[in-house]
Structure 1
């Protein structure tokens, strides 16, 4: 008998996700903005936000290993209580400690908590529903993620502008506390695993086991990881770097208008992620793993109009509209692909390894992002006046990866 998706426990997990991701997005928006307003230094702003990203990469595999050895409900509860204490502690000490140091440490801890928290949520899905609902469940989680990414900065910005940083932090701190209390009532099936030796031996053993599974026992999962990392390196990073660079530096808009248009473009990216997550849920019955490569092909093909319009179209407005529409399309197709991949991995991986395998995949694929950002920063700098060529390079390499992916999944 098919298990219904929105059981009490899954619903509570989703509500907890909404509060946690929304609060995290709002705080991670408000703190760097406060730093920028306070110091006026874009270099300091960039350095602090870059440092904040590091713990997420380092702690994702730890979060996955913990998720397979500790009750996932307890992880969510503890991390939400910890986040609430962290935010309220910032409020208490912000007048006592160097603000730059305090913001840097707080952001690093917030990103680290998020990196530890997410594998527990993804790994709990096989325990909360049956295999037929994996696609729908992942679609719901991704919809919540995209919606929070879209609304968190917007509402955080409104509160920050109207009432200041303290109001944003106080509201988010209270929300995290209430979320943790609610999550206490979630019941997630858990079977304790036997661990021998100290914690470092356990971590090493778990990491080795997950890598062995990816490379040897289920090599198709390893191939998926390489494909995702390649797309992050050559396509996602290009979008991240190109969007602000093209709109604010290449297209001849007045500065204030360019910043406003860039804000709209960021909203379009988040909207594309939300639309993709919803499409994955609506069309889940038609999404087969053998056709997953078609989604990456669509992503790669969406890049080419960006290159051609910069080469052929003199109108700044038309260039802007096509760039934004292409980025929206890339986000739609890539989000559907991500949902499908997560469901595939959850299906193919034993329950005692799900958290570890997901965490390894998140870590490796995320590491490709900053490398790609650095690559395209250099390429756009070297290719001034020929930005279309950099984007065309991204499209060609991404299309090659997509075709290879199609061949891999077609043989399954």
Structure 2
């Protein structure tokens, strides 16, 4: 890689009091994230309304994640070899075309659930290509010492989009049907692609052999870089543990507990989901405010782990039958307590994920950036379905409150060990 050209490119992208390139980058993400959240919130309802079953909803959720996980490693190679801006633009336009195609089929009255599932595979594959490219591009648009602050801004706006999307989606679906939902999402991807086209970005071509052998060599180079970099390796393991243990709590334990042990309405469950997203938004903003220019990751990680583990412990206590007996399983007091703890829970996870992402970006050379993030994403997010499977299997045989409490104790031990190990690795750099 020509480092002189790279530095000149970065100075060009970052100069001036207002970073127009970052604003365009952020605007594209906000628009497409809002459109995606509009559609994803409505799809389970639409699938049921269209004659699908719970199994169909499950297949749709599986297809939303698994194709991206499978393509991640090779997407990282492509993201380091090819122009990241072009990858982002092309994948956004392909998504726009596929989703607007669904809108046409729906408008013509020939929409089928099989078409929806096929398009979801396409969207997931495009997202798998898009994510490593966009993660690799951001460090070239902003100053290195401001990565945490800008990652915080991206995470905050994404949380706001996810918070806003379901409201818009519900209104569109109830008033106009699924066709306009598809139109809104398709147009959002078109606007995102146009916004990305305007970004001033110069691709630095790397010399690498073409063909399958060259692709595999690049992939193995990325794997070796992750394995040989002690800090990135431990951060990847840190994320794997977090995603494996924590994310299924929201997708498995919470809905089961809500349905089996509480007597609130489905609307209350919707309120809880909104509060969880609001917690992520608050956490993202706080990370940027408190640690926007932090040069070490120990402070945000310790604070995030403390918030996360304390909220996990209180949540596990709230699951115990004695707590339900004291507060009442349908009382306003219990709902406020549960919502507050879940809000803390979600905020704490942002104190971990944002700094970790920023420090991986700082520790990775540009020529490895997309490959590293594709591998990190595959490792961390790959833990989610296996974590859900683990919880589901255990809960068939054990009480939910004891499962949660034991998990919390194990997480306290695991995160303490990981933080000590990360602190040593970081001090050796």
The two structures have a TM-score, normalised by structure 2, of: 0.89
Q: Please give the per-residue CA displacement for 1:3-59, whole angstroms capped at 9, x wherever unaligned.
A: 568411111000010111111222222333211111152222222222332112112
Q: Please give the per-residue CA displacement for 1:110-145, whole angstroms capped at 9, x wherever unaligned.
A: 222222212222211221112111111111111122
**Is 1:105 aligned to 2:114, yes or no?**
no
Matches within 5 A, 1:372-383: 372-383=387-398
Gaps of 5+ in 1: none
Indicate which of 237, 256, 281 corresponds to 1:274: 281
Matches within 5 A, 1:172-251: 172-198=185-211, 200-216=212-228, 218-251=229-262
How many residue pairs get matched? 404
- Secondary structure, in 3 states, of the residue corresponding to 1:236? helix
- Secondary structure, in 3 states, of the residue corresponding to 1:353? helix
The aligned residue for residue 309 of structure 1 is 318
**Is 1:355 aligned to 2:370, yes or no?**
yes
Shift of 1:350: 0.7
Change (3 A) 1:274 1:126: same
Rounded Cα–Cα distance in structure 2 between residues aligned with 1:4 and 1:232:
38
Q: Is the Cα–Cα contact under 8 Å of residues 26 and 156 in structure 1 kept in the other structure?
A: yes
Rounded Cα–Cα distance in structure 2 between residues aligned with 1:297 and 1:282:
18
Indicate which of 249, 252, 257 corresponds to 2:263: 252
- Secondary structure, in 3 states, of the residue corresponding to 2:396? helix
Q: Please give the per-residue CA displacement for 1:341-385, whole angstroms capped at 9, x wherever unaligned.
A: 1110011111100111011000111110001111112222323xx
Shift of 1:388: 1.1
Q: Is the Cα–Cα contact under 8 Å of residues 294 and 402 in structure 1 kept in the other structure?
A: no
Q: Is the Cα–Cα contact under 8 Å of residues 304 and 350 in structure 2 kept in the other structure?
A: no
Shift of 1:96: 7.4
**Is 1:51 aligned to 2:59, yes or no?**
no
Rounded Cα–Cα distance in structure 1 between residues aligned with 2:256 and 2:413:
25
- Secondary structure, in 3 states, of the residue corresponding to 2:367? coil
Rounded Cα–Cα distance in structure 2 between residues aligned with 1:16 and 1:197:
31
Gaps of 5+ in 2: 1-10
**Is 1:148 aligned to 2:161, yes or no?**
yes
Indicate which of 325, 347, 356 corresponds to 1:332: 347
Q: Please give the per-residue CA displacement for 1:291-346, whole angstroms capped at 9, x wherever unaligned.
A: 32442233122111122223232111344333322221121111121110111001
Change (3 A) 1:153 1:6: farther
The aligned residue for residue 365 of structure 1 is 380
Rounded Cα–Cα distance in structure 1 between residues aligned with 2:298 and 2:36:
36
Rounded Cα–Cα distance in structure 2 between residues aligned with 1:122 and 1:221:
15
The aligned residue for residue 30 of structure 1 is 42
The aligned residue for residue 8 of structure 2 is none
Shift of 1:176: 2.1
Indicate which of 157, 176, 184 corresponds to 1:163: 176
Rounded Cα–Cα distance in structure 1 between residues aligned with 2:417 and 2:16:
36
Supply the RMSD in Å over aligned alpha carbons: 2.0
The aligned residue for residue 62 of structure 1 is 74
